[in-house]
Amino acid sequence: MSLPTVELAPHRGPGFLQVVGQDRMKLALLLAAVDPLIGGVLIRGERGTAKSTLARALAAVLPPREVVVGCRFHCQPSAGDLCEQCQRRSQGGRTLPLEIAPTGLVELPLGATEDRVVGSLDLEFALNSGEVRFQPGVLAEANGQVLYVDEVNLLDHHLVDVLLDAAASGRNVVEREGVSASHPSHFILIGTMNPEEGELRPQLLDRFGLCVDVVGLRDPEQRVRVMESELGPTGSASGDESLRLQLTEARRRLPEVELPRNLVRAAARMAVDQQVVGHRADLVMVRAARALAALRPGPSGAARPAGLQDLMEVAELALVHRRTVAGSWVPTMAEGAGDQQASAPGPGGDPEPVQGGEGEQEGGGEVGEGSQSSSPGQAAEATSGRAGPMPAPPAASVELEERFEAGPLQLPHERRRRRGSGRRSRTSSQDRRGRYVSSRWQEKTTDLALDATLRAAAPHQHQRRSAAPAGDGRAIQLERQDLRQKVRQRRIGNLIVFLVDASASMDAEQRMDATRSAILALLREAYVRRDRVAMISFAGRSARVVLRPTSSVDLAERQLSRLAVGGTTPLTHGLVAALDLILAERRRDQDVLPLLVLISDGRGNISLRGDEPLREAQAAAAEIQRARIHTVVIDTSRDHLPVTQTPGGPQMAGYHFNACADLSRRLGGEYFALFDVTEQGILRPVAEALRRGA
């Protein structure tokens, strides 16, 4: 019996194979399309590097799917997983009616609520019938399709948890508001992010199977090809159809691909060498190698065993976001017995060399004279290439110790009694973000808690139905006093910004090394507290954002491995850069709790706007206080005088002037003087400030 067909919608924009460059990202997306159990793809890179373009182009070349006619969850019997309704319909050996549907792309809006993602109570059906029914959400719509999440690092953490749980299990289970539902949710998850706007938590990062780091193209000829591709005819129907057939055959071959034991052993050794946490990296490497073997068959088109070259080509995609060290072990052909290929055919059938890993992009901006901030340049809109090696450090740089043990962060015991073991406090959300925890009555209802509303109205139904006019067919009689507003809570965390004086002084290197160690110690505790840490250094004639807000130890270690030390002291530049960074974070999340930690000797000597440097620094400090940013000033000058704490702030003994103490007063913050700058010396005042609720 022939199935009814649905015409495939044409893809607008460059076809998948027509996008210039970006070979690693194309490979990762194709592997996830062949075997969705790999766990999705995370694409990290600067703006305008074809991340969205390729995600949409992939959906356009995926094979169509067979779905049950009329199913709200788009069940696919071929996947062996049906919803409860389809299971009841198929009882007694009855055949479910099927139709051919295109595989499309479902995009998750950045401001989506949990109700929209997982589904919720069908409000209209409940009010009309008085019965409870589940209203499917994005996870039901994405079943069998591509789920695309742009700026995944800006989503609330609990939403990312929900997405990754569904991607791993293939089902969405909902228990909320009197609704109990479960349905299949098999999808190809693609997440994109710009690391400059913040990192994912390490435990969420690990849940993505593959990861690609991308930057914009630097070759003028390739950039010309980008413009020709964008301005010329869009797409290639023949190329798309050829790739669609290739993916269909690869999925068919996948169960037939053998995995030699030596290959599995090589994957395990690579994971151990890179010191990855857990076993997900091993599994992903093996699955990806098998998918690559299915995508690139033998000469006769039959399935071939996965080989060492397959493993080598996918290893970087599986390890780049999980490794803790840059290991040196590389498997040999002898260890990967059975792999005889010198090169494997690419998606278009032509041989491709084994490609190496992506380079790292160093994020950050500067604040120099005459300006308050600078933004990174824009990249080409539609494509990107592989990053090159990291540039050599400048001559004035000091390479800090690469591997050292940062001491544990000793928080006061009182801190552990605060509510919750994660972020420091919970706040009521007014923007429909966060978890639904209770309900209340209020004059204007903007976020209806239907379960609480029905409970409030239930005792009055007999009386109201008796008084209702004839012909009123409503199953539930609601009145204004029954309506209940949802009370949502979301956890809020601290943003700890270290503003470090990197100018030339006798303790500059010690100051930077101790600060780096303190940052890593804080980040190693971030798994529990989920705070984020940033670092700005100022020296010469500018301030530089060395580490943007992150909770990733790996990113911090890479960004802080080499820090420039020396030059003059542009203190005002640093204060302005810190204020700009914190205000930008507040615009993203108005509930963030910032803590600014200034580590300096206070001897600013470079002007930002042409005024006397100290006066400019004092004015910048006053702006920070008006912004209600809690601050800690750590004075590293070794000639500081005793400080007397008074109601008006710290006062210096004698006639000498201490700029750090004066700035702490103008900042409305706390002042600490350190003769020897050490990791624990920095962590103690920070821990005290966090305990008091920065």
Strand partners, 363: none
The reported pLDDT for the residue numbered 355 is 35
Domains of the chain: 19-219 (3.40.50.300), 259-341 (no CATH), 397-418+493-691 (3.40.50.410), 426-465+474-490 (no CATH)
Positions of the chain with pLDDT lower than 70, given as ranges: 1-14, 123-124, 126-131, 177-178, 198, 202, 228-239, 324-434, 471-474, 490-492, 505-507, 525-530, 638-657, 693-694
- Residue 418 DSSP code: S
428, 516, 12, 550: which is closest to 235 by C-alpha? 12
Q: How far is CA 175 from CA 178, 249, 320, 429, 620, in A?
A: 7, 39, 36, 21, 51
Q: Which residues 6+ apart lie within 8 Å of 651 measured at CB?
A: 643, 644, 645, 661
| Active-site hit among 24, 251, 253, 280 | 280
Helix, strand or coil, per DSSP, at residue 188:
strand
**Residue type at position 272:** V
Residue 429 φ then ψ, to 5°: -95, 135
The reported pLDDT for the residue numbered 529 is 58
347, 367, 273: which is closest to 315 by C-alpha? 273
Dist CA 151 CA 167 (whole Å) = 18
Q: Residue 351: CA atoms inside 13 Å, Cβ hemisphere, count?
A: 6
The reported pLDDT for the residue numbered 490 is 63
Helix, strand or coil, per DSSP, at residue 215:
strand
The reported pLDDT for the residue numbered 506 is 55
Q: Which residues 6+ apart lie within 8 Å of 120 measured at CB?
A: 134, 135, 137, 176, 177, 179
224, 217, 167: which is closest to 41 by C-alpha? 167
Where does 6-83 show beta strands of DSSP type E? 41-45, 65-68
Find how far residue 254's CA is from the centre of its chain: 30
pTM of the model: 0.61
Residue 280 is among the residues annotated as catalytic for this protein: yes
The reported pLDDT for the residue numbered 524 is 74
Condensed to tens digits (0 to 9), the pLDDT of residues 473-510 reads: 667 777 788 888 888 776 667 888 999 888 876 567 77
Condensed to tens digits (0 to 9), the pLDDT of residues 637-655 reads: 765 554 454 555 444 444 4
Alpha helices in 421-525 (DSSP H): 450-457, 461-467, 508-524
| Burial class of residue 589 (count of CB atoms within 10 Å of its CB; 0-12, 13-18, 19+) | middle
For residue 483, what are its two tokens?
């309506």
